[in-house]
A and B are shown apart, each in its own frame.
Chain A
Amino acid sequence: MTKEQPFIDVRHAQKKFGALEVLKDINLQVEKGQIVAIIGPSGSGKSTLLRAINDLDPLTSGEIWLEDKQVNKDLPHRQYEKHINTVRQEIGMVFQHFNLFPHLTVRQNITLAPKMLKDISDDEANQLVEEQLAKVGLSERIDFYPSQLSGGQKQRVAIARALAMKPKVMLFDEATSALDPELVEEVNLVMKSLAAEHMTMIIVTHEMTFAESVCDRVIFMDEGVVVEEGPPDVIFKNPQNERTKNFLRKHLNG
């Protein structure tokens, strides 16, 4: 290996839904421990890009790399499944609507995948749950069902569930958008504590203040392209592009 590779490397990502080109030659590099926010208007392709990173929405062309592994490999079905299931264990994802498993308790939600995919004993599994729940401040809810939790609590459990796989990177797709305003802060606090631990994160968000406070870098997307990117104080205080300025004018005063 000649040159140091970025931790996450999105190369010439293009995505089409039929005739609609949603991502147009996106290039994005994220270093280990970096926290990147993706902002932009609705329909600009933020979710599609995030979901391409773990191949949930496979790219039409282009490459996704995590360290020295290509994520979106073109393989025969069986081999691809084996490959992607291994890679996805290293990429945690948190969804807008939590997607907790409603038929399982908090404990079971968190241990299901580690128990099935990693060779861990019951004791280790219990320890894992306690550890992760403590992290998100929900130890006392361990044997509750998702329906017995508030939205903020659900999202914190969803984060704990993703963390239990010990991922190398966490992807957040508008983790607080579905929450009542008074529940947003508790989830933001959890994300901030992950930031303090130098977890590598890519965060799609509509919350500019939050983005500004936790991110190392901000990407502004519009109509499938990265219009502008840079450190938060530059993007938010002194954006160069007209489209960025317009977008921020609407979202910082709203």
Chain B
Amino acid sequence: MDYDLILRVYPFFLQAALVTVQLAVLSTVLGLACGALGAYARLSRMSVLRFIGAAYVSVIRGTPALIQLFILYFGGPQIGIQLDAFSAGVLGLGINIGAYMTETMRGAIIAVDKGQVEASRTLGMSGWQTMTRVVLPQAARLMIRPLGVNINAQIKGTALVAAISVVELTYTAQRYIGSTYKPFEMFLLAGLIYMVIIYVTGKGVSWIDRQVQIK
């Protein structure tokens, strides 16, 4: 184990980790938006919207995320979509995780007891009022932990964008291997940093979950 090497390169890895965190944060925000829209569509009264929502989920979950990224980044220009690698990464990862978050959010909404809706509607509240004041506040609490699982997967998923040459953590590790021929140390270091990011995020999710639970 070449400790000197690790000490020499780790500042560069930390810089790359910053890019990984940016990718994760931006794509998660995009994913949450896609998930909210997707869940809305899947639960809509309109069959067209339900179809679009279902198609989104099955296409995205039915294909490898790597292929989705390749289509966006390499195939995009062919149909007039020019994106730099970082933007393609955020967009691709966000759309991808959005499909999983669609199902997470839909599941949480459905899991709210039907009696809650009945009680609210019986009082004369509209479908929308019932959704925003009765169902969503309860569903939001139910979805925090499963969304945390999605986010965990997303952080690990950011490693994929190394394949479209975004200079994030995994790409950086590969580059240093090219010059040092020390794959064990380099990947170990990268792995360790991923673990820290994931650990801290997990703690954050648990904290939020604790804050919002009903007494």
Contacts and interface: CB of A to CB of B under 8 A. Distances in A.
B116 A101 contact: yes
Nearest to A115: B133
Contacts of B121: 56, 88
Given A85-B124, A85-B125, A88-B124, A101 B119 contact: yes
Given A81-B126, A85-B125, A88-B124, A99 B133 contact: no
Interface residues of A, number: 30
A165 B121 CA distance: 12
Contacts of A158: 119
A85 B129 CA distance: 11
A43 interface: no
A66 B123 CA distance: 16
A150 interface: no
Given A81-B127, A85-B124, A85-B126, A99 B119 contact: yes
Contacts, number: 68
Nearest to A145: B215
A150 to B, nearest CB: 16
A99 B113 contact: yes
Nearest to A102: B214
B50 to A, nearest CB: 16
Interface stretch (B35-43, B52-60, B65-73, B134-142): B134-142
Interface residues of B, number: 22
Nearest to B133: A112
Given A145-B214, A147-B215, A99 B124 contact: no
Given A102-B214, A147-B215, A95 B118 contact: yes
Contacts of A77: 45
Contacts of A97: 115
B123 A113 contact: yes
Contacts of A92: 122
Interface of B: 45, 113, 115-116, 118-127, 129, 133-134, 137-138, 141, 214-215
28 contacts: A56-B121, A56-B122, A81-B126, A81-B127, A85-B124, A85-B125, A88-B123, A88-B124, A92-B122, A93-B119, A97-B115, A99-B113, A99-B116, A99-B118, A101-B119, A101-B120, A101-B138, A102-B214, A103-B141, A112-B134, A113-B123, A113-B125, A116-B129, A117-B124, A145-B214, A147-B214, A148-B215, A162-B122
Given A99-B118, A116-B129, A165-B123, 12 more contacts: A56-B118, A88-B122, A89-B123, A89-B124, A95-B115, A99-B119, A101-B119, A101-B134, A113-B125, A147-B214, A161-B123, A162-B122
